[in-house]
Amino acid sequence: MENIIDRFVRYIKYNTQSDEKSIIHPSTHCQVIFLEMLFKELTDMGLSEISLDENGYLMATVPSNIEKEIPVVAFLAHVDTSPDVSGKDVNPQFIENYNGEDLHIGTEMIMPVDQYPELKKYVGQRLITTDGNTLLGADDKAGVSAIMDTLQYLMANPQVKHGKIRVAFTPDEEIGTGMDLFDAEKLGADYAYTIDGGCVGEFEYESFNAGDAKIEITGHNVHPGYAKGKMINALEIALEIDSMLPTSERPQYTEGYEGYYHLISLTGGVEQTSMYYIIRDHKRDIFESRKAKVQEVVDVLNKKYGKELISLKMKDQYYNMREAIEPTMWVVDKAVKAMKDLEIEPIIRPIRGGTDGSRLSFMGVPCPNIFAGGENFHSRFEFISCQSLEKVSQLIKKIVTE
């Protein structure tokens, strides 16, 4: 029986970064290598209905060992790590009995407690950090490890009673395409939980409504010495567009339920410029008004210049999962009760982002998000406490055996 800490350390050694520029699914072959390894481990554990399809979705079943029919629960975690920071050659560092002082990451980086006050929660615990050269990969290999630890426990202890359990490991969550080809009917669950949140106690059943906007601007370039009345500078129009969106409604100025417009990229020159925004809000009506605002800005400027210089393409990415979960709030209540039974204080708050569960909930499987235990995801300052990782597994076991 492998303990969860050793499993986690083994898993993070696999580089599974996704790639937003890829046109294949999964976006990187390294994810497939990791999924194939998990497939073998599930087979060796003795699970049934194990499948790994060509799109990188791995599913398996722990059969029910009780006579009565109860709703089928599923647990999901994504195998990819963020493209934001390298996930290659992860070299974890252990901090024994953390003393509450500034935390040294590798040999050169320091996390000052005054800048990272969350460190104070972990005094006396055993921490796993990066060496400062990569992210750690707790997002979401902590979730993968906790699910696999639970499966190992259940298969080794058939006297523990539970209903039918489904698990699914997915690719490409970090680049927003993880559920694009997911088969919710094949999953065959009545409800589910993603194990993809942050610190112990975090529990989320609200997410952003999310969309994006791609803007193309066509200018007219001539020699600047003879440009009067002729030049149309696409870059300057891009700056004009950004100035017409509320400055106070950018990510760096918002929190809680406040949405935003976020300019992700601005590329090009005088002749041709491209802009890419993401648009977010927890309330659907405000989300729709944000999209309308972007369209209004484009229309006003096209009218101003008397030409269709600006083209806009918008699409919705996912919606606030609360809409789909509210009719089955017992799914939320069940997880909250399990936490309280384990003396874990639930920290219920909206996700300022989305999870695979956001989309799965709108596929007919209500799917809140449970903590995976880590801190500072997508960063060289990422860390997780061994005690937190163990609590994730304890919570999953509690949910399935209630």
Hey, which residues are catalytic here?
80, 173
Q: Are the C-beta atoms of residues 171 and 163 closer than 8 Å to each other? A: no
SS3 percent helix, strand, coil of the chain, rounded to 5, is 35, 25, 40
Q: How many Cα atoms are found within 13 Å in the side-chain-facing hemisphere of 13?
A: 8
Q: Are the C-beta atoms of residues 360 and 182 closer than 8 Å to each other? A: yes
Q: Are the C-beta atoms of residues 217 and 234 closer than 8 Å to each other? A: yes
Angle at 349 between CA 348 and CA 351, to 5 degrees: 130
Residue among 194, 201, 200, 161 nearest 179 (CA): 194
| Residue keyed to tokens 């972007």 | 294
Q: String of b and e for 174-196 (b: at least 16 CB within 10 Å)?
A: bbbbbbebbebeebebbbbbbbb
The partner residues of 312 in beta bridges, in order of sequence, read 215
